[in-house]
Amino acid sequence: MTDERKMEDTEMDHILSRKDEIVPSSGFAVSVMEAVRQEAAAPPPIAFPWKRALPGLLLAGLAIIAVIVGGTAVFIQASRAVSAANMPVAPAPLVVTGSQNGPVMWTGLAVLIAFVSFKFSMRLAGGRG
């Protein structure tokens, strides 16, 4: 480190170390304590209702798994159909033709999930089924 740089560093330390302090306003501590007392008086935050939410979360998880598994199965089935027909067609349109009952089944499942989720949320919100 050169002498010039050392002098600059010393100068920088001198300037930035110089006391540049402010005094908290007279009511600061009182104001903090007021906020602390309000905090202490406030009711504790409501805990997340895990017991009530757990069935719903499990159901949602199962539904997601079912959709993934079902989707994969349909995709594989469609791919096989394409291979069998030896046609270079994208699998998406064949999903529909893969099974005649497929769309009906999925629609029914979607309606069922929507109904269950509606009833469950009504029960959570109003405390009645």
Where on the chain is the footprint of other proteins (CB under 8 A)? 4-5, 7-9, 11-13, 15-18, 20-25, 28-29, 31-33, 35-37, 39-40
Please state the closest distance from residue 46 (CB atom) to other proteins, in A.
17
Q: Which of 112, 120, 110, 111 is nearest to 53 (CA)?
A: 120
Q: Which of 105, 48, 44 is nearest to 74 (CA)?
A: 105
Please name the residue ranges forming H helices in 2-49.
Answer: 3-17, 28-41
Please state the closest distance from residue 34 (CB atom) to other proteins, in A.
10
Within 8 A by CB and 6+ apart from 97, the residues are 81
- Please say which residue, 24 or 129, places its beta carbon nearer to other proteins: 24
Please state the closest distance from residue 15 (CB atom) to other proteins, in A.
5
Number of Cβ within 10 Å of residue 94's Cβ equals 19
Please state the closest distance from residue 49 (CB atom) to other proteins, in A.
23
- Please say which residue, 5 or 51, places its beta carbon nearer to other proteins: 5
- Please say which residue, 8 or 114, places its beta carbon nearer to other proteins: 8
**CB-based contact 79:91 (threshold 8 Å):** yes
- Please say which residue, 31 or 72, places its beta carbon nearer to other proteins: 31
